[in-house]
Structure 1
Amino acid sequence: MNMPSKTYVQVQKIRAIGLTVTSCHHSVDFYTQALGFELVSDITVEGQDYSDLQGITEAKIRIVTLQLGDELIELMEYFNIKGKPIPKDSQSNDIWFQHFAIVVSDMDRAYAQVCSFPIEPISVAPQTILSNNETSGGVRAFKFKDPDGHDLELIWFPTDKGQDKWHQNTNRLFLGIDHSAIAVSNTEQSLHFYRDLLGMQVDSRNLNWRATQASLDNLAGAEVRITSLRPAQGGLGIELLDYLVPGKGRPIPSDWKSCDIAHIQIELVVNDIEQLVDKLQQNGVEFVSSRIVQFTDSGSPYRKGCLVKDPDGHTILLIDY
C-alpha cells in the first residue's frame, strides 16, 4: 500500500507586518491621518503564551491592527518594558534596515501629504527609476522614516509594472502594501531560507544603481542587488536588498529583542507549522519562541505561532490557522 506523501511545507501568504512602537496612540494617529490606514482592532494581551511567543518575560502588549487596501500592519506597544530606540544614524545598507512599500495612485499628492507630518526624509525627493532598467523602469519611489524611525517607502507603478490591483480605477490616494524590503548580507544565504526552506518563489531579480538609487537611499554611489519573492498565494511579498556599493552596513545586534523599537516581524501563514518548525530546527535556524505557542483565547487572530530569525536576524512570525 502506498503511504501518503508528506505535505509540501510552504508559506501560503503574508498575513501582516508587525512593528514595535513607543506609543500606539501616536503611531495610530500617524498611520491613519498621514497614510490612510483604517483601524481594525485594538487589544491588550499578556500571559505565558505571548511571553513565550515573543521571547519576553511577562510581556504585556497592546496590539493595534490597521488595514490599508488588502494589507494589514500590527502596531505593538510593550507596556511593562521600555525598548531600545532605533539608532539615529541608521542607513539603508545597515542589515537591520527594513521598510514596507505603500503603493500610491499619485506620487506628487502622496509626497506632499506625508511631508506635512513629522517624518524624516531618507530620499532627497521622489525618484523615477530610469527606463533602461527592465524590471522597474518608470517606477517612482520615496523613502522616509515614521516618527519612531521605522523605514517606509511610497511607491508608484506605471501601467506596465506592479500587480494588476495597483492599476484599478480608484479615488484613493494610498492603495495598499506591495512588499517589505530587508537588507541582507548574502542573497544566496537568504534565498536558502526564504525559497528553499519556506517555499517562497522568486518573482524577479534586479540591479538598481546610478544617481537615482543614491538619491533614493541617500547613499553615495549606491548599487543594490534586489531579489523579489512572493508566497504561494501571491499578494504582499518580500524583497532582499543586497548592497554591493557602499557594501554591507552594520549587522543586527544579537541583543535586540521583540520589545525594541527596531523590531519588525513579518507574519507568514504556513500550511503545516509543526513540520516546518521541525525542518527549520534541522537546518540550524535560530528560534525566538521557546515553543510552538497554541492560542486558545478568542482574541488571537491565529491558532498557532512561532517566532524565528532569518540568517541575518530579521524576525519572522510563522502562524497557522
Structure 2
Amino acid sequence: MSSQTDVQVQRIRAIGLTVKSCDRSLDFYTQALAFELVSDITVEEQYYSELEGVTGAKIRIVTLRLGDELIELMEYLNIQGKPIPSNSQSNDLWFQHLAIVVSDMDRAYTHLRSFSIEPISVAPQTIPPGNQASGGVRAFKFKDPDGHDLELIWFPPDKGQDKWHQNTNRLFLGIDHSAIAISNTEQSLNFYRNLLGMQINSRSLNWRATQSRLDNLPGAEVKITALRPVQDGMGIELLDYIVPEQGRPMPSDWKSCDIAHIQIELVVNNLEQLVDKLRRNGVQFVSSRIVQFADSSFPYKQGCLVKDPDGHTILLITQ
C-alpha cells in the first residue's frame, strides 16, 4: 500500500505508565519483575505540560529497562490523579496490559507470588493446541500496585520472536507487546494500520475455559489482532471482546495525570506529515501542537500526544 511508504511508525520506543508513587512502582518492577533502572528525572517545563495536556505539571519520570524494552513510570508530583476503577475488567475499553516474556513460567510465577500482587488469572493458563496463532503459549495476568494490568507470557519453541528463544539464565526477558481493549477491529485497523502504517502480524480467536480463567471473565471470547511496526520489536495487540460484549468506554475526562493513563511511544519517520494526516482524518489530539524539546538530554526531539478511536493514548515522537 502506498500509504505505508510515506509516513509510518518505525518502532515502539517505550510504554509510559502514570503511577501514584515512582518509589513504590520502582521497587515492584525491579524486585518482582527484574527491570533495571535507566534514569530518574523530574520535568516541570511548560513544553512537557503542553505535550501531556496537563497545565503546570511537575512530573517525575523513571525509565526502566527489561531486555531491549523500556517503560517509563510517570508520577505527577503536584497533581492528584484519579485511581483506576477497582472493578475494572479486561473488556473495559480502558484495559491495557504489558506482556512480559519469561523463560520459565513456573519459576516466574513462584517468584511473583512472593510479592503482594492482585491476580486476574486463576493460575498460569496454557492456550489449547487447536489455536493456530497461540496454541501452547502460557500466560498469567495480574495487576501492579496501581492496578495497571500485566501479563507474564511464555512462548513454546514454534511461537514468538526468535529473541525469546535464546539461551539465557535470565527469568524475565523483555516486553513482547502491549494489548489494548477495543470496540471495533476494523476501526482500530484504520488507525494503526492505515494511518500509522503498522502491519498485521497475526490474528486469532481465543475462547473457551482457558480464556475465561486467564481474564477472569465467564465465557470470554476475544478476537485478537497482533500488529508490529516496520522495524519489529515490541508490538500492539488489539483485543476485540465478542463475549462478554465490550465493556465500559473510557471516560472522556480522563487525563494524562490519572493513574489509568498509559501511553505507547511510537517513533515515526516524519512527525509533521503524520500529524497533518491525522488531523485530516479527524483523530483526537491531546497536545495542541507538535512540541519541540530543547533539552538535548531528553530522549526525543519532538512529540505529539493523540488518542486512538477508543481513547488509548499514543505519543508520536521523532528522535
TM-score when normalising by structure 2:
0.98
Residue 150 of structure 1 corresponds to 148
Match of 2:302 among 290, 301, 304: 304
1:164-203 alignment runs, 5 A limit? 164-203=162-201
Q: Which residue in the other structure is 1:60 paired with?
A: 58
Where has structure 1 moved over 2 Å in runs of 4 or more?
none
Q: Corresponding residue for 1:138? A: 136
Other structure's SS at 1:35 match: coil
Q: Is the 8 A contact 2:200 2:228 kept in 1?
A: yes
Alignment of 1:214 with 2:212, yes or no, is: yes
Task: Give SS of 1:188's match.
Answer: helix
C-alpha change, 1:188 and 1:7, in structure 2 (3 Å) is closer
Q: 1:105 is matched with which residue? A: 103
CA deviation profile, 1:89-112 (whole Å, cap 9, x unmatched): 000000000001000000001011
RMSD of the TM alignment (CA)? 1.1
Task: Give, in whole Å, the separation in 1 of the partners of 2:6 and 2:53.
Answer: 28
Partner of residue 31, structure 2: 33
CA–CA distance in structure 2, aligned partners of residues 193 and 217 of structure 1? 26
Instruction: Give, in whole Å, the separation in 1 of the partners of 2:225 and 2:172.
Output: 25
Q: Is this contact kept in 2: 1:310–1:316, CA < 8 A?
A: yes
Q: 1:123, 1:215 within 8 Å by CA — same for their partners in 2?
A: yes
How far off is 1:47 after superposition? 1.7
The offset of 1:115, in angstroms, is 1.2
Contact 2:102 2:108 in 1 (8 A): yes
What residue is the counterpart of 1:94 in the other structure? 92
Q: Is the CA contact (8 Å cut-off) linking 2:4 and 2:194 kept in structure 1?
A: no
Matches within 5 A, 1:226-305: 226-305=224-303
Once the 2 structures are TM-superposed, how far is the Cα of residue 120 of structure 1 from its aligned partner?
A: 0.4
CA distance in 1, matches of 2:78, 2:296: 23
Amino acid of the residue matched to residue 183 of structure 2?
S
> What is the distance in 2 between the residues matched to 1:7 and 1:135?
28
CA distance in 2, matches of 1:261, 1:216: 24
Q: For 1:203-240, what per-residue CA distance to the aligned partner results, in whole angstroms no more than 9, with x for missing partners? A: 00000000000000000000000000000000100000
Cα offset, 1:299, TM superposition: 2.8
CA contact (8 A) 2:224 2:238 kept: yes
Q: Is the 8 A contact 1:118 1:146 kept in 2?
A: no
- The alignment's TM-score, normalised by the length of structure 1, stands at 0.98
Structure 2: distance between partners of 1:296 and 1:186: 39
Deviations 1:261-308 (A, max 9, x none): 000000000000000000000000000001100001123100000000
* Contact 1:86/1:149 (8 A) holds in 2: yes
How far did residue 6 of structure 1 move?
11
- The offset of 1:150, in angstroms, is 0.2
Q: 2:16 aligns with which of 12, 15, 18?
A: 18
| Matched residue type, 2:100 | I
Structure 2 CA distance for aligned equivalents of residues 42 and 74 of structure 1? 9
Question: Structure 1: which 5+ runs fail to align?
Answer: none
Task: Name the CA shift for 1:227/1:6 in 2 (closer, same or farther; >3 Å).
Answer: closer
